Chains A and B, each alone.
Chain A
Amino acid sequence: MQSPFNEIDPGARDSNSLIAEFREATKRYGDVLAADALSFGIRRGEFLSFLGPSGCGKTTALRMLAGFEVPTSGIVLLDGQRVNEVPAYRRPVNMVFQHYALFPHLSVAENIAYGLLQRRPRPDRADVARKVDRALEMVRLPGFGPRRIWEMSGGQQQRVALARAIVNEPKLLLLDEPLAALDRKLRREMQIELQTLQRQLGITFVLVTHDQEEALSMSDRICIMRGGKIVQSGSPNALYDEPISRYVADFVGKSNFIEGVFSHGPDGTGRILTPSGQLFEGRVSQPLAPNAKASLSIRPEQIELTHVSRGGAEQVTVINRIFLGEHTEYLVRHAALGDLLVLVARQAEASEGGFAPGDTAFIGWAKSTALILVQD
């Protein structure tokens, strides 16, 4: 597979625009390759997310940036400087830990002041107090300074952890699943707060998450990881519309996959021959060899669900209907293709009329919206 680094943005190679960079960075734990020759740049001021399933190496990548892990081979650069062996306490980087790691013997204010007080020469007390107060205001906890850590709720502790990091005005802020322990509503609020803060402060944020919604809604750019490698990186839109493989399409948003054998079609299009003998056309964005196993990916919102067959439609049976407000999600069953997900906008449903489980219906999609992807 070609390096995602090359194609997404040639500008990313200009090392001046990069706050941090991995060059063939590899981290091995015994037999496990936690980071497999990562080559990747992080741009100044961007909100970047590492997205991937558990154990794919997200935390490892972050810990190499923070200075807790030394790469087995390869280079980590911060601000153009090689920092492989630079210990964490000498890096202008701060991290928000997954479980906060707040100091239980210190008050909220003392926790936040901790980073400032490590500086030499020691900063002015009044100055520290002012910065702590401002940080508390920023995370919307004004007046909480004298509190003890155990007197704070989970969400409040999370914000203290955030304040403790941003008060140092790091060049790079690393966040390791900082919202994982929060309930859905608080999480949504914190996501918005994080985004606002990032814009206000102009600090580069690197967020680790395995929640694709979180990554999609917050990031300027997302790196999809798998087995210690970055499979693809790009803007949320680019990843959603132009995934380079079935793995990415599956991880970013929902998609329907029709599996089969690939063959070339006219004008850069391609065809998928399913085991049941049906032929489907679709776009091809990545080079594919004839007779390779491939999948046709169609997003649920791109499928049209109708009561009567229009040209080239497939007959299905409606299995389930979930009302989601603006959309209705249908699960439909096709005799040969299996179950498919269809998302119908409210307006479309209003004009076409609703469907009930058990109904016979027809599905169809524009050929240009179907994407043929390597099966990996």
Chain B
Amino acid sequence: MTIIVSRKETFWDKIYLPALAIGLKVTIKQFYRTLFRGESTTIQYPEQKRIYSQRFRGEHFISVDANKTENCTSCYLCQTVCPAECITIIAEERPAEENPYGVRKEKRPARFDIDALRCCFCGFCEEACPKDAIKLSRNYEMAKLTREDTIYDLDHLKREVKGRG
């Protein structure tokens, strides 16, 4: 159903000029604000950055303990829950001599790849992880030069991230 609301146009509406003047006023106001009060909406990006919320979901990382051993125990929960199917884990047993933790960290990922081009940054992996190993940092600058670089391997994931990045 269409509702037609007709509006009575006065003489001043019909000659448009007052409306034009109002339009000009809007832009000159914005001009003044941006130029003299520095209230521009955009920022000088690489130098200035926006502050995102603490819960922002950006580039993944895997948390490590004091010995730089990853907390991940290859339980495959994240790989299972991932809706984009972009996590590939190959598990193996941690050699006894490298494992001062005993039963706690018997299993480890031999490979842990995340295809960032497929990832939809839903954060389910982070939710699913029983070890709080995989996390999403706040880094949103993820541009890479080659496709290969966008597949994050274990070395990349274990990089040092302070807080949530």
A binds B: no
